[in-house]
């Protein structure tokens, strides 16, 4: 039988025991406080969609199934190889043909285009849900000319974007 006397008992100073208990109490308090802090925070308010994002969503929901031709997809940088891009499309036929295409695979690839039948020229504006003009492509008689957007391109793009916003998501009075 093993008997320990006080003189042979393991030395466990009071100070170490106090520090350990203090740590345990602090950890317990922190573990209890974190869920309470998380509960007391208000949930983030839902972000309001921009009119352009609403127009894009409406086009995805109600648009016609269409295809952006392989060469146009490639020159705009949507398709690295010349592959057609499936889109949902809002289109308006008149003196000019105007359209808003949204890629069904990547909803952030949005193309606004205007075709002038008389001059046989089409201008494509690649944008995003945020409405930033990324690329411009002019096609004259079947030949595409991609370019960096100029100030004039920016102005014409804003006009065309506004055209679609007014038709798809009119401002409420």
pLDDT in tens, 49-71: 899 999 999 999 999 999 999 99
Asked if pLDDT for residue 27 goes beyond 70, the answer is no
State the pLDDT at residue 41.
54
Q: Note if the pTM is more than 0.85.
A: no
Q: Do 87 and 68 touch, CB atoms closer than 8 A?
A: yes
Asked if the structure places residue 145 within a domain, the reply is yes
- Average pLDDT over the chain, rounded to whole? 83
In a domain, 22, yes or no: no
Q: Does a structural domain hold residue 4?
A: no
Q: Is the pLDDT of residue 21 over 80?
A: no
Domain count, the chain: 1
DSSP per position, 123-165: EEEEE-TT----EEEEEETTEEEEE---HHHHHHHHHHHHHHH
The verdict on residue 30 lying in a domain is no
Structural domain containing residue 64: 51-168
Q: Which has more confidence, 122 or 81? A: 122
pLDDT of residue 16: 58
Backbone angles phi, psi at 148, to 5 degrees: -75, 140
Do 69 and 84 meet the contact criterion of CB atoms below 8 Å apart? yes
Best CA proximity match to 85, nearest among 108, 117, 118: 108
Is residue 46 included in any domain, yes or no?
no
The whole-number pLDDT of residue 172 equals 79
In a domain, 132, yes or no: yes
- Measured between its terminal Cα atoms, the distance across the chain in Å is 95
Mean pLDDT of 21-49: 55
Per-residue tokens: 153 = 């391109």
Residue 24 included in any domain? no
């Amino acid at each position: 039988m093993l008997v320990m006397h006080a003189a042979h008992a393991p030395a466990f100073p009071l100070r170490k025991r106090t520090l350990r208990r203090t740590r345990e109490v602090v950890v317990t308090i922190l573990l209890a406080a974190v869920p309470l802090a998380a509960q007391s925070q208000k949930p983030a308010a839902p972000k309001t969609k921009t009119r352009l994002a609403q127009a894009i969503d409406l086009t995805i929901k109600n648009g016609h199934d269409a295809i952006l031709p392989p060469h146009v997809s490639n020159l705009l940088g949507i398709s690295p190889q010349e592959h057609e891009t499936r889109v949902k499309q809002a289109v308006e036929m008149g003196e000019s043909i105007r359209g808003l295409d949204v890629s069904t695979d990547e909803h952030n690839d949005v193309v606004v285009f205007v075709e002038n039948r008389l001059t046989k020229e089409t201008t494509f504006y690649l944008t995003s849900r945020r409405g930033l003009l990324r690329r411009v492509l002019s096609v004259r008689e079947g030949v595409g000319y991609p370019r960096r957007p100029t100030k004039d391109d920016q102005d014409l793009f804003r006009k065309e974007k506004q055209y679609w916003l007014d038709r798809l998501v009119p401002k409420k009075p």
